[in-house]
Structure 1
């Protein structure tokens, strides 16, 4: 509760922004807050191998790379959309898919509102085309397969059943699967965002 007994639905970010989680404004979205948060949110509820967590920021970098590998001429905006596909998790965290399904509509509604605000803030379509969403989802599932088999202890047969086997030279993405310190992956995420944002602006 905040002052006066009213419910508080906002979170204060390190940038000083106060982001309303129920009705988020694009004006309160900052890429520094996103990068900082995602670099500290663990994939697979932290059940991964290595001395560091494998973060949502690293997953996002992997998905963007997989998306680009699957598309011969992806635009800067499309790649930026792929990089930010899980950006709402900087404030709502990462939940494994079975738990998301159990929670149902309220979680999805909040996630979609946040994603919409993030897209508007960075000059992307508030509602990406279905084809783009489908291609990003393919890259997301490929990433899940790689992470599951390399980091989360899944057998190959089990991962294939759950996520499908990517039709890509997987060795090309091995470097993305090395867990990194939060500060290092935060810097890497910000650098990749800057590259893709500059490319996206250049295509206007």
Structure 2
């Protein structure tokens, strides 16, 4: 068996992911319940909330891509970058799932520079506001400034609603 049952009752097959297996409601549900940083933030902080925030700081033409930049994590989970680097086979599955999602929603095949930069700005902000204090530099954040405003986290149900609301604002369709 290479498939999972999603929250909307679809079967998502890792061996053969297809566009008809993708549903924005599944993505919103799963990302709202997926905690970033492998659960090591000081408070629960969902991938859905992160995605909404990234979508709000990019130019409008990149907002939908930003909202969905981690959509593959609805099916593949949010694996920390250092661990993911040790799992090339996992990365191949994740890339395949990401490609199907990007094609399904009409997104660029590769992550745009604007979204990648905004993702790093959020990472710097999250580190400052949500992670335990640590003086060790994160090389990936060299030259990246966090947002001026401080972050607050929301419960999964609210994050899910925020994600769907942002999806609708951006003209998304299932």
TM-score (norm 2): 0.89
Q: Out of 136, 142, 167, which is 1:158 matched to? A: 136
Deviation, structure 1 residue 159: 4.7
Q: Would you say the 8 A contact 2:14–2:97 is kept in 1?
A: yes
Deviation, structure 1 residue 124: 2.6
Output the CA distance in 1 between the equivalents of 2:68 and 2:114. 14
Q: Deviations over 1:19-41 (max 9, x none)?
A: 11122101110000000000001
- 1:114 maps to 97
Deviation, structure 1 residue 167: 4.4
Aligned length: 173
2:155 is equivalent to residue 181 of structure 1: yes
2:81 is equivalent to residue 93 of structure 1: no
Matching of residues 142-153 of structure 1 within 5 Å: 142-153=121-132
**Which has the larger Rg?**
1
Structure 1 unaligned spans of 5+:
1-7, 69-73
- 2:169 maps to 195
- 1:137 maps to 116
Q: Out of 50, 57, 65, which is 1:66 matched to? A: 57
Q: Would you say the 8 A contact 1:141–1:164 is kept in 2?
A: no
Q: Would you say the 8 A contact 2:28–2:48 is kept in 1?
A: yes
Structure 2 unaligned spans of 5+:
none
2:57 is equivalent to residue 57 of structure 1: no
Output the CA distance in 2 between the equivalents of 1:15 and 1:145. 34
Q: Would you say the 8 A contact 2:35–2:45 is kept in 1?
A: yes
Output the CA distance in 1 between the equivalents of 2:50 and 2:68. 10
- 1:71 maps to none
- Structure having the higher helix fraction is 1
Over 3 Å counting, the alpha-carbon distance change for 1:62 and 1:42 in structure 2 is: same
Over 3 Å counting, the alpha-carbon distance change for 1:154 and 1:119 in structure 2 is: same
Give SS of 2:158's match: helix
Over 3 Å counting, the alpha-carbon distance change for 1:62 and 1:142 in structure 2 is: same
Over 3 Å counting, the alpha-carbon distance change for 1:184 and 1:161 in structure 2 is: same
Over 3 Å counting, the alpha-carbon distance change for 1:168 and 1:102 in structure 2 is: closer
